[in-house]
Amino acid sequence: KRYIVAVDLLNQLLSCQLARKKLFSNTISLNSSVDNVVNICNTNFTIYQDQNHTNFMEKICNKLLMTMGLICCDCTTAQSRIGDKNAIQSILNFSFEKKSIHSSLLVKWGLWSLLQMTFNHPPNKFDFYHIGGINQVVNALQQHQDDPNIIL
């Protein structure tokens, strides 16, 4: 099962990257790939929250956060689709809630992913602000104010 999640995630990331490079001619393939990645992330975030916080699941969730951020890098179509799928809310719920806030890595990659989703994208910035993202981020940073790994 561990490998199935990793392989599925890599396949979806590859599909997104190919679609972004316009090797696929239409946006349907990009939207479908983004949707699949968001669904994989939400499923595994739920698994992480329901289980004991194993190092393995934490590593998977770090990779999922990275993947969501990578999809959005310099691609407004992907940013819009991510926003439409409420992924910003999912990341805030996951990376900055009480069960995950203990992990500086989850907070770090959650911040990075949110940056990629909102950079030069006013609708996602508005959603982030409107759902209370600023307060959640500030609270998470206060929990790790002595940890340089958050910003490195």
Model confidence at 125, pLDDT cuts 50, 70, 90, reads very high
User: Measuring CA to CA, which residue among 87, 98, 104, 100 is closest to residue 41?
Assistant: 87
Distance CA 151, CA 7 (A): 29
Tell me the pLDDT tens digit for each residue of 34-57.
777 777 777 777 766 666 556 767
Predicted TM-score of the model (pTM): 0.77
- pLDDT of res. 119: 93
Model confidence at 140, pLDDT cuts 50, 70, 90, reads confident
Residue 130 has pLDDT above 90, yes or no: yes
Tell me the pLDDT tens digit for each residue of 56-113.
677 777 888 888 888 888 788 888 888 888 889 888 888 887 666 678 888 888 999 9
Classify 120 in phi/psi space as left (phi over 0), alpha (psi -120 to 50) or beta: left
Residue with the bigger pLDDT between 152 and 137: it is: 137
Distance CA 57, CA 143 (A): 21
Q: Quick count: other Cβ atoms within 10 Å of Cβ 82?
A: 28
